[in-house]
Amino acid sequence: MRSEVELLHGMLTIASPSAREGVLARFVARAAEALGMACTVDEVGNVLATTGTGAGPTVLMLGHLDTVDDPLPVRLAGARLYGRGAVDAKGPLAAMLLAAAARKDFPGTLVVAGAVEEETPGSRGAMHLRATMTKPDAVLIGEPSGWSGIVLGYKGKLDLAYRVRRPATHPTNPIEKASEAAAAFWADAVAAIGPEASHTAFDRPAATLYSISGDLAEASLTLSIRLPPRFDTEALLSRLSTVVRGGELIVVNSVTAVRSRRGDPVVRALSAGIRRAGGQPRHILKSATSDMNTVAEVWDVPMAAYGPGDSHLDHAADEHIVIDDFLRGIAVLTSAIDDLVDLATLPLPLPLHTLVGKP
């Protein structure tokens, strides 16, 4: 087994569901040090591996340590490596770590961060980094895009919780029961979003009912609304407040959409790396969210998301990465780093990702 694959294999053997990433964090820290990088684990559990000469731009390569809490056996089967996180997103994180370690002479600073709790609404690790780190000159987000794909943007997200109570009563009483109120609220929420809702169109909102439970006296539900650029979140919340039927509506989390332009320096660097590796760059817009949404809210810098792995396998029962794609991803990232050496002198396009969340 190649050393690069051994690193990812080792990461996959360590279960790291959200809020339980400590063992993996220590493993990654030791691996980074073995690769010749300086490494620390911060107060919330993020791993920060650093290299470079320090004289030029700072490039943050931000991945995440956590996975969904659904373990999978780790196995190498021919050209594929199976395990929870192979795609989302230990594969991209391992690729970033190996690419940065191959460029210790980078005339600037390369920081590879493995963040905690990306799979949770609060994105605790990325929130801590954006609050404590000096703003970098560029950000690469480690998420699966396929080795020849580049994610330019993600929809925003509004996570909501709804609770309602009603007096205990007989089922035949014609008054509205708590369970009926919750079901009606979900229907009203879907109607408030509008008939053009779509999870496949980047410029349209869409809702998902995560959970609903209750009885005649008490009921609750949680829902997530994916938000396109320039969506008026406050107007939606105002509409929803009129259909709560005496219940309580709680905003659990809210992040705006993010989108970079094709002329963004990070996008250009990744595109050049893909071409050098023999591929044709594909530009992708996703209906999901990532830590790119979180850091773009405060860092107005070039950024894009990239990582080997098929995102259709995120959280899947057969999650796996094709080894050749993983190795190509390392090569693409290594090449992209070279093209970011002169980041401070490159002409920057209008930073679209600072505008897309505003109505």
Q: Looking at the 3D structure of the chain, how many domains does it have?
A: 2
> Closest Cα partner for 50 from 114, 95, 5?
114
Residue 118 known to be catalytic: yes
Q: pLDDT digit of tens for each residue in the chain (359 aa)?
A: 689 999 999 999 999 999 999 999 999 999 999 999 999 999 999 999 999 998 899 999 999 999 999 999 999 999 999 999 999 999 999 999 999 999 999 999 999 999 999 999 889 999 999 999 999 999 999 999 999 999 999 999 999 999 999 999 999 999 999 999 999 999 999 999 999 999 999 999 999 999 999 999 999 999 999 999 999 999 999 999 999 999 999 999 999 999 999 999 999 999 999 999 999 999 999 999 999 999 999 999 999 999 999 999 999 999 999 999 999 999 999 999 999 998 755 555 555 555 554 43
Question: What pLDDT sits at residue 344?
Answer: 56
Set 21, 66, 137, 159: catalytic member: 66
Q: Are residues 21 and 114 in the same domain?
A: yes
pLDDT one-digit tens code per residue, 3-17: 999 999 999 999 999
Contact 352, 260 (CB under 8 A): yes
Residue 66 known to be catalytic: yes
Answer yes or no: is 359 within a domain: no
Q: Are residues 210 and 263 in the same domain?
A: no
Q: Are residues 48 and 119 in the same domain?
A: yes
Contact 207, 156 (CB under 8 A): no
Task: Please state, in angstroms and rounded to a whole number, the distance separating the CA atoms of residues 189 and 184.
Answer: 9
DSSP string, 53-121: -SSS-EEEEEEE--B-S-----EEETTEEESTTTTTTHHHHHHHHHHHHTTTT-SSEEEEEEES-TTST
Question: Domain of 212: which CATH number?
Answer: 3.30.70.360
Contact 118, 125 (CB under 8 A): yes
Answer yes or no: is 343 within a domain: yes
Task: Calculate the CA 270 to chain-centre distance.
Answer: 18
Q: What is the DSSP letter of 17?
A: B
Q: Are residues 285 and 170 in the same domain?
A: no
Contact 83, 320 (CB under 8 A): yes
Coil, helix or strand at residue 241: helix
Answer yes or no: is 242 within a domain: yes
Domain that includes residue 228, residue range: 156-255
Q: Are residues 26 and 140 in the same domain?
A: yes
Could you give phi then psi for residue 202, rounded to 5 degrees?
A: -65, -30
∠ Cα 258 128 8 (to 5°): 80
> Closest Cα partner for 135 from 109, 102, 155?
109
Q: Are residues 162 and 248 in the same domain?
A: yes
- Judged on CB neighbours under 10 Å (0-12, 13-18, 19+), 218 is middle
Residue where a domain stops, chosen among 239, 255, 271: 255
Task: Please state, in angstroms and rounded to a whole number, the distance separating the CA atoms of residues 254 and 132.
Answer: 20
Question: What pLDDT sits at residue 348?
Answer: 54
Q: Are residues 28 and 141 in the same domain?
A: yes
Q: Are residues 284 and 207 in the same domain?
A: no
Q: Are residues 232 and 271 in the same domain?
A: no
User: Peptide bond preceding 89: is omega within 30 degrees of 0, i.e. cis?
Assistant: yes
Question: Domain of 123: which CATH number?
Answer: 3.40.630.10
Q: Are residues 117 and 265 in the same domain?
A: yes
Residue where a domain stops, chosen among 216, 240, 255: 255
Set 21, 117, 118, 291: catalytic member: 118
Q: Are residues 40 and 165 in the same domain?
A: no
pLDDT one-digit tens code per residue, 74-101: 999 999 999 999 999 999 999 999 999 9
> Closest Cα partner for 326 from 198, 142, 165, 184?
142
Contact 167, 87 (CB under 8 A): no
Contact 49, 112 (CB under 8 A): yes
Residue where a domain stops, chosen among 255, 273, 301: 255
Sign, CA torsion 34/327/125/258: positive
Q: Are residues 117 and 239 in the same domain?
A: no
